[in-house]
Structure 1
Amino acid sequence: MDAESLLEREHELETLAGALDAALTGAGSLLLVEAPAGIGKSALLRAARRLARDRGIAQLVARGTPLERALPFGVAGRLLERSGERAPREPLAVPDDDGLGLIRTFAEAIVDLAWPAPASAAARPLLVVVDDAQWADAPSLRVLVHLAARLDDLPVALVAGVRTGEPDAPSELLEALRGAGAARTLRPAPLGDAAIAQLVTRTLGEHASPELVRACANASGGNPFYLRELLAAVGSEAPRTPTADQLEQLVPDSVLRSVLVRLARLGQAASRLASAAAVLGDGATLDAAATLAELEPLAAEQAADVLADAGVLDAGEPLRFSHPLIASALLADMGSFARARAHRRAAELVADAGPERVAMHLLHARPQRDPAVVTPLRRAAALARERGAPAESVRLLERALAEPPPAEQRPALLLELADAGIRSGAADAPERIEEALELIDEPHARGAAQLALSRQLHHVGEFARAAALAGDARAALPPGDPLQPRLLAAHVASAFLDPGLHVQSKAMMEPLLAAARRGDLPHDPGLLALLAMRMAEAGEPVATVRTLADAALAGGPLLDHDSHGTSLGFLAAALLWSDELELAERWLAQAVAAARRHAAVLPQFVACYFRACVHLQRGRLAEAVADAEHALEIHRYGWASSSAAATVLARAQLERGDLDAAREAIAVAETGDERRPEHVLLLEARARVRLAAGDHAGALADALAAGRHTERYGAAPSARAHEWRPIGARAAHALGDTRAARELVDEALALTRDDDAARIRGDVLRAAGVVTGGEEGLALLAEAVTLLERSPALLSRAHALAEHGAALRRAGQRRAAREPLQRALELADDAGAEPLVARVRDELRALGLRPRRAARSGAASLTPAERRIAELAADGLSTPQIAHHLTITKKTVETHLSHIFGKLDVRSRTELPAALTAGEQAAADVDARGDADARPDAAPAAP
C-alpha cells in the first residue's frame, strides 16, 4: 500500500515527511509512533521508509521481536549490519566518563554514518527506523536513548514504533525515549466510519450495505488489521456473505482464528512454512524455514510465494511477517510441546549464526539431557555478561543448569551463575557457590570458589564466616598461588569488620603496613584499598594515602570487579577521611558510570553512598540527598544494611533544614543491625539530629555510645573516621557541662594535632573554639577558618566562617565580623543550607547590616547546580539524558527540577528558556543600578 493510500493518516504522514525534510537541512528529530496492536504503526513506519527513498535518504532499519529480547544489542547490531557497518562485539577496555561504554560505541557508529568524518562538511541525512521497540533488548534501547541525546546536532530522523499495552515492556527505557528533548509522539487513532466504509466498499463492492459496514466497524473497533482480516474472512465466504448480525458477534480473538483458517486454505505447505517462520523469528532464511517445515526447496519457494501473495509474508528474503500478530497467532496455535520441539530443532538449524541466536531458541525448548546445548548457552551468557546484561546471563545459565550440564561442567556453571546473579542483584549467590564447593576437589579451583563465597558472606554481614573461609583457602594453597593476595585481602577485610577478629586483622595487616611505609606496595587493588583505609583511619599523611589510592585506581574505577564493591568502599572511605574530596568525586563519578555500564548492582550502590558523603562535604545537599536515596535502593536486593545510606541522608536533610525528613531517615537507619560496624554512623547522625532538635542530653548519650562502639571494633586512635567527639562536646557545652565538653575537644585536638587532613582538623578546631570561648576560642576558630580555606569541604568552611564571625561580633569586633559572615552566607546559600543561612543573616542584622536577601524565586535564586540542570533542560535534554550528561542519578535531576520549576514559577520545560532569559535581564538591571546590599543601616543595631 502506498503512503498516499493510508486512510486518515494525513497528520502522521505530514509529520514524518517534516522530520525527513528537517534531516535534509541538518536537523535531527525523534518520532515515536505508539499504538495498540493492529492500529497501523508498522504501516506508518513503512510509509516513512518510502518517503525517505523518495528523498534519497539512507536508512537503517531493525525490528524487535519477543524471541530476541535475550540478545544484548541485537536490534542495534541489525541496524548496523544492514548499513554494511560492523557491529562492535567487545566492551571498551577503558571505561569512559559518561559510563555508556559499549552503548556509546554502537551509538557513535550510527552517528558516523551521518557524519562520515570529523572534518567532513557534507553530512548524510539518515533515517533510523526501529519497529516494535517494546520488544527490543534493553542495551539496544539504551543505544537509542544515547543517540536521541545527540539529535540536535545530527541530520538523523529517528522513528520508533511502540506497541502499547504490552505488560512486560521496558517502561523505564521507553520513558527515557519519550523524554528526549527532540521527541514527538504520534498516536494514530482507530479508523473512523468514513474510512471503514471506504475499505469495506473497496473489498465487498455491491455487498457493502450500510448495515454490513456498521457491523464491520463494531467487530473491528476501527483497528485496520482486524478489519482487513475480517474482510478477508468475509471475502473467502463469497458468494455467501455473512449477515450483519453474524459479523457483530466476531471479536479480535476470533478474527485471529480466521487468519489460521485462511492460512489452512492456502495449502499444507504454506501453512507449515508459515509456522516454521514464526518459530524461527523475523529474518529467517527460506532454507532454514524449509528444513524446519520439512519441505523440499521447490515446494518451500512456491509456498513462500503463496504466502506473500496472500499478504502473510513480505515478498523475498529474509522471511518477515506482514504483521507480528500473524506470527503470534501461529505460535499460539501450536501445542506447547510441539512449539518447544520446534525451537530445539531451530537451535540446530541456526548453529552457524552464533551462540546467542542458538540460545534464543534453547530458552524456549524443553530440557532433554543433551550436554551439547550447554556450551552455546554458557557462551551466550558470557557475551551477555560482558555486554552489561547480567540478568540475561542469569536466565541463560539457569536454562543451561536445567538441561542439565555434564557433571564435570556443573561446578563452573554454578560459579558463573553466582557471579551473574551477584552482578544483577540476586541474593541466592552464596547457595550456588556452596553447591559448587561440594563438587570441587582441585585446590586452585576450590580456592577460587571459596574466595567468591567469602566475598558474598561479607556482603550479607557474616564477617566471621567470610574470614574463616578465606583463611581456610589461604592455608590450603601454596604461598605462590596467584589467589593468595586476593584471599588475603578478603580475609583481612572481613576480619577487620568483626569485633572478635580485630587482633587477627591487625596482625595480618602490620607487615603490609610496614612495607607500604617503606614504599613497597602490593599489586592487588584490594590490598591497596585496605592499606589506604587503615592508614587514613590512623591519621597517617595524606600523601601516603593518595599514593596508595593512585596505585589502586591504576586498574580502573571499580578496582576489583570480583569484590563487588568491597574494595571500592574501603578506598572511598580512605579518600573521604583524608579530605581528598576532589579526587574522590572524580573517581566515584567514573565508578558509578562503570558500575552502570556493567550493570553491577553492589558497586553502584556503594559508589552512590560514598558520593553522597562527598556531596555533603562539598556543600551539594540536593545531590547528596539524591545519591543517598539511590543507595538506599540496595534494600530491595537484600544485600547490605541500609544504615550507612540512611545516615548520610539524615545529615543532608538536617543541613537543608528538613528536620522531619532527617528523623525519617534516622528511623530507617535504626532498622539496621546494631552489631555491625556502621552502627556508629547511626549514633553520630542521630546525635546531630537530636542536637538540632534541642535534645542535648540525648545527643550527648548517642555521641558517647558512638565512642564505645568504635572501641568495640578496635578503631585506630584518631579522629579521622569518626566525629563523635566534636558532636559530644557541643552537646555537653549546650548542657552546661564545661568539663565534659573540654575533655572531649582536648582529646580530639590531641589526636588531630599532626593531622594534615584539613577538614578533620578544621572541624575539631571549630568545635573547640565554640566550647572554649573568649580570646582562646577566637584563636581556635580563626585557625579553623585558615585551615579550611585549603579544603574542598565547603560546608565545613561555611560553618567555621559563621562561628568565627559570630564570635567576633560577640567580642565587639563588629567590622572584623562582617567579612566571614558574608562569606558564610554566600557558601550556605549556594549549598541550600537553610538553617545556616538563617543564622548568618541574623548575625549580620545584629551587626546593623542589611544582608543581601537571598532570592527565593527567579533565576537569581538558582544554585550553580540548579542553573546547570535548568540550562540543559532548556536546551531540550530529558531527565535521563541530563543524568547521563552530568553522570548523576535521575533522582538528582528530578529533585533539582522540582526546585527549579518552583523558583522560576514554570509548569513545563518549554517555559524554561524564557524564564532563564528574563532572570539574566533582571540580574543585569540590578547590577546597573549598583549593589546597595550589605550596607550599614542609619541606626545600627546594638551588638
Structure 2
Amino acid sequence: MESSIGVESETEFAFAGLHQLCAPLLDRLDALPDPQQTALGVAFGRQGGAAPDRFLVGLATLNLLAEVAEEGPLLCLVDDAHWLDQASAQVLAFVARRVGAERLALVFAVRDSSESDAHSFVGLPEMRLDGLGETDARALLTTAVRTPLDDDVRDRIVAEARGNPLALLELSLSVRPAQLAGGFELPDVPDVPRRVEDSFQRRSGTLPDETQLLLLVAAAEPTGDVALLWRAAAELGITREAAAPAETAGLLEIDTRVRFRHPLARSAVYQAAAPPNRRRAHGALAAGTDPQIDPDRRAWHRARAVLGTDEEAAAELERSAARARARGGFAASAAFLQQAAELTPDPVPRARRALEAAHAKHEAGASEAARELLTVAEAGPLDALQRARPQLLRAQIAFHLTRGSEVPGMLLDAAKTLAPLDAALSRETYLHALDAAIILGGLGHGRGVLEVAEAAQAAPAPAGWPGPADLLLDGLVTTFTHGYEAGVPGLRRALEAFRGRGPHAEAVDSSDSRRWLWLASRTAVALFDDELVYVLASRNVRLAREAGALATLPAALILLSATLVFTGELAHATELAAEETAITRATGAVPLRHARLILAAWRGRRAETTELYTASVQEASARGAGTEASLAQYALAVLHNGLGNYPAAQDAAARACDSDELPHSNLALPELIEAASRAGQPDRAAAALELLSSRARASGTQWALGLAARSRALTSTGPATEDHYREAIERLRECRMVSHLARTHLVYGEWLRREGRRQAAREQLRTAHELLSDMGAEAFAARGERELRATGEHPRKRTAQPADALTAHELHIARLVATGATSREVGAQLFLSPRTIEAHLRNIFRKLGITSRRQLKELNLP
C-alpha cells in the first residue's frame, strides 16, 4: 500500500502530495516511455525541461502505479485529499478516472463538500461515511473512559460528538475525572471539528512553554522531517527532552517521522500560537532548511517569519514561483507571487509582482482572484507596457468567464494600446479579438466581425519576417473587409506556412503554430481545401498527443473527427469522438458535443441528433458562443436532408449560412441549395448558388468546384443538368471528400430516375447506396435504397463485418494494434495504461473470434 496525506500548509507546493505518494516508487521510472519519465522528473524537480502538461504527468503517474501493481494489487490511500495542492489533486483525480484493468485502487478521504474544497474529485464513485450509531458510540465511550461516567454526562457527550469517533474520545479526555461522575455540562456547539480542535488546544496549553514552542515548530513544518525539527529546535535553544510531555499527552509521536495524532491537533497547536511565536518557529525552520536542497520550502518559512515587509524574502519567493512554474505548478507559482507582492516594500516591484501573480492566477484557473490582484497592480506605478497588460488580462478573463459581447471590444482596446509597445503581442491580441468575434457570432450585441476586422487593419506591422500567425491575421482581415475572393490568396499562404511550407513556414511544433493551429485548421475548411484540412487537423491532434496536452486535445479530436466524416470514414470518426468524450470526462472539462452531433446527423439518427442539437444550442446561448449554434444548425440541416424533410433542412441551413464562421457557412451552402431546390424555393437556391459559385471559383479546389457543379445541377433544367452532375462527380473523385461524392451519385441517380432513365439511374444509385451504406450514412443510404426499389432493383444488404461487434473505443484500439503498435505505445497515445490496453485486446479477440495480433492485422479493419 502507498499513502499520501494532504496537509493544509502544503497547498502552495506544486506536486507535493503526488511526490509523497510516488517517492517510494521512483526507482521504477525507467519502465516508462521517455516523455513520461521527463514529465515526472520535471514535475518533481529532479531535472530541468519545459513545464509538462499536468495530464501527461497524470499518464506517467498512472503507468508508474500500474507498473508496481503488476507485482501485486496496489492500494493508494490519500487522506485529507481536500488539502492536496491543486496540481496533485488534478493529476490524482485524472488517474482515478483512468484506472481500468489495473490491480490498482485509489481511495481519497475528503471532508464533506460544505467543509472543504475537493472539486477535483467530483464525479468519482463515492461512499459517504455516517457517524456511529448511538449504541456503538456508547460502547466506544465506555472503552475509552475507565472512570465511572454519569448517565447525563454520557448522553451529552454522545449528542455533542454526533457520531464522530475522534470527537467521542477527545471530548471525554478534555474534562476532569471529577466532572465525568456528574454535574458536567458541555456547551451546545454544533461544529464538531471545532470542538475537537478546542480539546487539542486545551491539552497542549497545559504543557511546559518549551514543549509548546517545540510543538509549534513541528506544526509549522508539515513534511515530518525529524532532522529538520531538531535543527530548528537547536536554533531556538530547545532540547530534545522537551518533546516528552507532548508525546505523553498523546499529541504527537517522533520516530522516523514527526506525526501528530490528527491533522486537527496540528492546526490546533498552530492556530493557538501567538503571532510572534509563529514567526519565531518559521524563522528557525528557515534557518534549518538547506537553501540548496530545498530552496522553496526555505523561502516559504522565511516569508512567514517576516513582520511587515522584506525585499529579500520577497525575491526568494519570486524565484520559487519561477521554479514552480517550470514544473507546471501554476497554482503554486501564483501563490508564491501573491505572497511576494505582499512582502515587497517598494511599490514598483510590488506592482510588477502583483501583475505577474494575476497572470499566474488566471493560468491556474482562479480568474476571480486574478482580478483582485490586478486591482493591486494597477494601484502601483507601472510603465506603459505594464499598464497595457492588465487591460489585456481583464479582456482574457472576461472571455474565459463570460464570453460576453463586450469581449472583442476589450481585446481591441488592449491591442491598440499595445501597438506602439509590443508589436508581436498587439498582433496576437488583434487575432484573438477577431477569433472571439467569430466565436460569439450572432449571439452578442458588441463589436461584430466586420467591425473588429476593420479595426485590426490598424495592427502594427510584424517586427520581423511575418510568421504563420501574422499571415493568418492579415488573411482574415482581408477576407472580412474586402471579401472572400480577395482574402483567399493570403489565407492560403498562411495555411501553407502552418503546414510547414513556403518562405514563412515555422517549425511545425513551434509554440506559435500550436497556439493557432486550431483556427488554421478551421480556416482550411473556409477555403474548401480538403488536403490542408486533413493535414492540419491531423497535425493538431498529433502535436497535442505528443505534448500530453489533454486540455486542447478534445477540440483537436473534434475537428479531425468532423473531417473524417467528410472523407467518408465515419467509423474512424466515431472512434475519435469516443476518445474525445472519454478524455473530457477524465479531465473534468466541459462536455463538448460537436463531434457526436455531426456524426449523428450524417448517420441520420433523428432522436440522437435532436437531443444533441437541443443541448448544444442551449449551452451555446448560455456561453455566448454563436459559432457553436451555427454548427448545430448545419448538423440539423444534414439530418433533415438525409431524411428528405427539405423545408426543415432549408430553415436550419439558412440559419447556419448566416454565421460569421466561414467554415460553417461554406458547409451549409450546399445543404441550403439541395433543400431549397427540393422544397420548391428556386429563388433561395439560386441566391445561395451564386455565393457558393463565387467562393468555389476563388478557392479553385476540386472540393469547392465539385460542390458548386452539383449545386448547379440541382437548380438546373434541360441537357446541361447532366453535364453539371458529371462534372461534379469527376471533380469530387479527385479530392478526399468521399461523403460528398456519394451524395452526388445519389442526387444524380434521383434526377435520372425522374427523367425516366431507369438503367442509368440504377448505376448511380447502386454506387451511392454502396458507398453510403459502407460508411454508415444510414439516412442517405435509405434514400438511395428507396430510389433503387423504385427502379425495380432490390439493393444488396450491407454484409456484416467482424468489426461491427466492437465498440468505437475497441475499434480504435484494434486499428492501432493492427498497425503493429505495442500495448505501451497504444496506451501512450490514448492516455491509458498498457494493462488496460491488454484487457481491451482480450475483449476484442473474444468478439472477433481470434487469438493473436497477427490475425487482427489480417482482418483489414475499416
2:243 aligned with 1:304: yes
Local SS of the residue matching 1:320: strand
* Pick aligned residue for 1:375 from 315, 319, 329: 315
**Are 1:764 and 2:708 an aligned pair?**
yes
Q: Cα–Cα, structure 1 residues 708 and 263, in superposed 2: closer, same or farther, change >3 Å?
A: closer
> How far apart, in 1, do the equivalents of 2:645 and 2:180 lie?
83
Deviation by residue 1:486-545 (Cα, 9 ceiling, x = unmatched) = 434544665796524656756979x99xxxxxxx99354521543676799644499855
Q: Within 5 Å, which residues of 2 pair with 1:549-564? A: 549-551=498-500, 554=507, 556=509, 559=512
Instruction: Verify: 1:530 aligned to 2:473, yes or no.
Output: yes
1:575 corresponds in structure 2 to 524
Q: Match for residue 773 of structure 2?
A: 826
* Cα distance in 2 between the residues matched to 1:486 and 1:575: 24
1:70 maps to 2:12: yes
Give CA-to-partner distance per residue, 1:98-127, whole Å, 9 cap, x none: 973344556667778899xxxxxxx79988
1:842 is the counterpart of 2:786: yes
Q: CA deviation at 1:73?
A: 0.8
Partners in 2 of 1:212 and 1:430 — Cα distance? 52
The alignment covers a number of residue pairs equal to 778
2:227 is equivalent to residue 274 of structure 1: no
Asked whether the 8 Å contact 1:608–1:627 carries over to 2, the reply is: yes
Q: Cα RMSD (Å) of the superposition? A: 6.2
Equivalent pair of 2:144/2:169 in contact (CA under 8 Å)? no
Once the two structures are superposed, residues 798-827 of structure 1 have per-residue CA deviations (whole angstroms, 9 ceiling, x without a partner) of: 533443444455441354135423334335
User: 1:345–1:863: structure 2 CA closer, same or farther, 3 Å change rule?
Assistant: same
Given candidates 450, 454, 459, the residue that maps to 1:499 is: 450
- AA aligned opposite 1:745: L
Question: Which position in structure 1 is the counterpart of 2:38?
Answer: none
Change (3 A) 1:623 1:169: farther
Q: Deviations over 1:705-737 (max 9, x none)?
A: 887886xx9x8xxx9973454344334423434
Distance 1:339 1:729 in 2: 79
Letter in 2 for 1:302: E
* TM-aligned CA deviation for residue 278 of structure 1: 2.0
SS of residue in 2 equivalent to 1:314: strand
Deviates more, 1:495-504 or 1:748-757: 495-504
- What is the match of residue 899 of structure 1? none
Conservation of the 8 A alpha-carbon contact between 1:653 and 1:659: no
Q: Deviations over 1:229-249 (max 9, x none)?
A: 467668x83xx6934996999
Query: C-alpha distance in 2, partners of 1:848/1:124?
Result: 62
**Alignment CA distance shift 1:417-1:696 (3 Å):** farther
Of residues 79, 84, 100 in structure 1, which corresponds to 2:55?
A: 100
Whether the aligned pair in 2 keeps the contact of 1:63 and 1:132 (CA below 8 Å) is: yes
Q: Structure 1 residues 701, 218: closer, same or farther in 2, change over 3 A?
A: closer
CA distance in 1, matches of 2:649, 2:721: 23
- Unpaired stretches in structure 2, ≥5 consecutive residues: 28-40, 438-448, 817-824, 833-838, 851-862
Q: Could you state the TM-score of these two structures normalised by the residue count of structure 1? A: 0.64
1:886 aligns with 2:830: yes
Q: Matches of 1:821 and 1:70 in 2, distance apart?
A: 61
Give the alignment of 1:735-746 within 5 angstroms: 735-738=679-682, 741-742=685-686, 744-745=688-689
Question: What CA distance in whole angstroms lies between the structure 1 residues aligned with 2:382 and 2:215?
Answer: 51
- Identify which of 726, 729, 736 aligns with 2:670: 726
- In the superposition, relative to structure 1, how do residues 140 and 815 fare at CA in structure 2: closer, same or farther (>3 Å)? same
Structure 1 match to 2:538? 586
Q: CA deviation at 1:65?
A: 1.0
Q: Distance in 1 between matches of 2:316 and 2:684?
A: 69
Q: Distance in 1 between matches of 2:250 and 2:498?
A: 65
The one-letter code matched in structure 1 to 2:56 is G
Output the CA distance in 2 between the equivalents of 1:344 and 1:146: 34
Please tell me the residue identity of whatever aligns with 1:78: Q
Matches within 5 A, 1:629-668: 654-655=601-602, 656-657=605-606, 658-659=609-610, 661-662=612-613, 665-666=616-617
CA–CA separation in structure 1 for the residues paired with 2:66 and 2:849: 37
Tell me the alpha carbon deviations over residues 883-920 of structure 1, each in whole angstroms, 9 at most, x when there is no partner.
996379xxxxxxxxxxxxxxxxxxxxxx9999978854
TM alignment of 1:160-559, pairs within 5 A:
160=107, 162-165=109-112, 167=114, 171=118, 173-174=120-121, 204=146, 225-226=166-167, 229=170, 237=177, 242-243=180-181, 257-285=198-226, 288=229, 291=232, 296-298=237-239, 301-331=240-270, 333-334=272-273, 345=283, 348-349=286-287, 352=290, 354=294, 356-357=296-297, 368-403=308-343, 406-425=346-365, 462-463=407-408, 466-467=411-412, 469-471=414-416, 473-474=418-419, 476=420, 483-491=422-430, 494=433, 498-500=449-451, 502=453, 522=465, 524-530=467-473, 538-540=487-489, 544=493, 547-551=496-500, 554=507, 556=509, 559=512
Aligned partner of residue 261 in structure 2, secondary structure: coil
SS at match of 1:325: helix
The question of whether the paired residues in 2 share the 8 Å contact of 1:690 and 1:696 is answered with yes
**C-alpha displacement at 1:622, in angstroms?**
8.9
Closer, same or farther: CA 808–192 of 1 in aligned 2, 3 Å: farther
Question: Where does residue 859 of structure 2 map in the other structure?
Answer: none
Preserved contact between residue 282 and residue 320 of structure 1 (Cα < 8 Å): no
Residues 198 and 311 of structure 1, relative CA distance in 2, 3 Å threshold: same
Q: C-alpha separation between the residues in 2 aligned to 1:663 and 1:351? A: 59
Give the letter aligned to residue 852 of structure 1.
K
Decide which of 811, 816, 823 is 2:763's aligned counterpart. Answer: 816
| Identity score, percent | 20
Give the letter aligned to residue 662 of structure 1: Y
Please say if residues 806 and 821 of structure 1, whose CA atoms lie closer than 8 Å, have aligned partners that are also in contact.
no
Structure 1: gaps spanning 5 or more residues: 1-47, 49-59, 116-122, 180-184, 478-482, 513-519, 873-880, 889-910, 923-943
Within 2, Cα distance between the matches of 1:621 and 1:697? 29
The equivalences for 1:840-879 within 5 A come to 840-846=784-790, 847-849=792-794, 851-852=796-797, 860=804, 864-865=808-809, 867-868=811-812
1:275 alignment partner AA: L
- Distance in 2 (CA, whole Å) between partners of 1:709 and 1:157 is 49
Structure 1 residues 263 and 93, CA gap change in structure 2 (3 angstroms): closer
Post-superposition offset of 1:678: 9.0
Q: How does 1:687-766 map to 2 (within 5 A)?
A: 722-723=666-667, 725-738=669-682, 741-742=685-686, 744-745=688-689, 748-749=692-693, 751-753=695-697, 755=699, 757-766=701-710
- C-alpha distance in 2, partners of 1:796/1:786? 12
**Aligned-partner residue type, residue 836 of structure 1:** F
Q: Mark the CA change 1:494 to 1:306 in structure 2 (over 3 Å): closer, same or farther.
A: closer
SS state at 1:165 partner: coil
Q: CA, structure 1 residues 660+132, in 2 after alignment: closer, same or farther (shift >3 Å)?
A: closer
Residues 350, 357 of structure 1: 8 Å contact kept: no
Q: Secondary structure at the match of 1:297?
A: coil
Q: CA deviation at 1:416?
A: 1.6
- Displacement of 1:321 in angstroms is 1.2
Q: 1:350 to 1:596 in 2, by over 3 A?
A: farther
Q: What whole-Å deviation, never above 9, does each CA across 1:349-403 have from its counterpart, x for those lacking one?
A: 5764656435766998998344444334433443444444434444444444444
Determine if contact 2:566/2:740 at 8 Å carries over to the other structure.
yes
- 2:55, 2:550 within 8 Å by CA — same for their partners in 1? no
